[in-house]
Amino acid sequence: MLSIGLFSCDMQKSADEVEFSLASDSALFQNVNMGDAPAEVRKSETGVPVFLSDTLMNYQTRLQAGKEEIETTVYYNFDEFGLFEIQADLFISGSERDSLFEKMNTHLTGKYGRASRRFESLSWTTPSASNTLIEISLSKEIDMEGNPFISLNYLEPLNEQL
């Protein structure tokens, strides 16, 4: 079962082919948007909760992509205005990581326009409902144990943080 909805299988394609989808048409990521309250996010998240508070939520899930299972960690950060940051770390290695990274890049570029490159990451911006900008970044990372992963981050900084 696809726990956080990053992938959906197309019935006309083989089981190994995957169509990439990050969110519904009305949501920024999964079924959530910046400014959502912790209770709204908790209700929509289907992963296994690791840590839950009013300011931080951490979920673990496994995504099915063709024959590959991808261990994924999702973080949601909140302030007094609601959700302001989402981070999804997808632990995948080798050529599968490069292929998934390119699918994510293509999806985000199609939705938000051409990416800017910042060091080893790609970034996009999009207007938010509160008339600020949301910064979206995508990067290939390695954790402290040497495990490669893809990190996808959505951040809506306060105006004085821009």
**Average model confidence (pLDDT) for the chain?**
83
Confidence of residue 9 (pLDDT cuts 50, 70, 90): very low
Rounded (5°) CA angle 120-141-143: 145
Q: What is the CA radius of gyration of the chain?
A: 15
Would the CA dihedral through 7, 10, 15, 19 be positive or negative?
A: negative
What integer is the mean pLDDT of 4-17? 39
Give residue 18's pLDDT.
41
Does residue 3 register a pLDDT over 90? no
Give residue 10's pLDDT.
38
What integer is the mean pLDDT of 44-54? 93
CATH of segment(s) 7-24+33-161: 3.40.1410
Compute CA 30 distance to the chain's CA centroid, rounded to the nearest angstrom.
Answer: 8
Give residue 29's pLDDT.
84
Considering the entire predicted model, what is its pTM? 0.83
Confidence of residue 66 (pLDDT cuts 50, 70, 90): low
Give residue 63's pLDDT.
74
What integer is the mean pLDDT of 36-42? 95
What percent of the chain has pLDDT above 70? 80
φ, ψ of residue 107 in degrees (nearest 5):
-60, -50
Q: Give the residue from 47, 83, 50, 80 showing the smallest Cα distance to 62.
A: 47
φ, ψ of residue 22 in degrees (nearest 5):
-95, -30
Does residue 2 register a pLDDT over 70? no
Domain residue ranges of the chain, discontinuous segments joined by +: 7-24+33-161
What integer is the mean pLDDT of 103-129? 92
Give residue 30's pLDDT.
80
What integer is the mean pLDDT of 98-126? 92
